[in-house]
Chains A and B, each alone.
Chain A
Amino acid sequence: EADIYQTPRYLVIGTGKKITLECSQTMGHDKMYWYQQDPGMELHLIHYSYGVNSTEKGDLSSESTVSRIRTEHFPLTLESARPSHTSQYLCASSESLEQFFGPGTRLTVL
């Protein structure tokens, strides 16, 4: 089982603020992912990475950006948060097919 951590767990901020959601994993997995989940809805992929210096956008359009400078770290940044960004953000990592998820960050933008 992968150990994957996300901080903060909950975040309430005002419109226009810049925020970074942190994600770290200790299993040495090359592949990492960011999903977005709204209540009662499916998870949707917004970003992924195959390894250091590799980042790609997922199927769901997002105004966020990501970076992968170290294998274990995959932060997500919103330059200017808006109420439409209010959602649950889930980070995952994998070595093969199975993906292991962190606890998530619940973001509320007022």
Chain B
Amino acid sequence: EDQVTQSPEALRLQEGESSSLNCSYTVSGLRGLFWYRQDPGKGPEFLFTLYSAGEEKEKERLKATLTKKESFLHITAPKPEDSATYLCAVQAPGQAGTALIFGKGTTLSVSS
């Protein structure tokens, strides 16, 4: 069964304290792995798409990497405005309507 597991569930950081979020997946024939940011009461905001192992994408303080079994979202010198829930999702052949399979997310809190 296709599955996405994110860890940790919650992460508290001090401003400037770098860390990484993990997304482990089991899927047959990965088409793409996606990272989203979701603020409370809002819809997910698209961040990155990764297609194959070894690929990396960067945006401001965020860097996403992909291996054959997991993806990491590295946050360098985070600021309070980076506080949000970060969602990982995968798309695989055979999923209904090219739907995304989501993890439960990691809720990041950055304090100043």
Contacts and interface: CB of A to CB of B under 8 A. Distances in A.
A95 to B, nearest CB: 11
A87 interface: no
B97 A42 contact: no
Given A41-B104, A42-B103, A97-B31, A33 B97 contact: yes
B interface bracket (residues with beta carbon within 8 Å of A): 20 to 34
Contact of B43 (A1, A42, A101): A101
B97 A48 contact: yes
A99 interface: yes
Contacts of B36: 101
B102 to A, nearest CB: 4
A45 B97 contact: yes
A97 B32 contact: yes
B46 A103 contact: no
B104 A99 contact: no
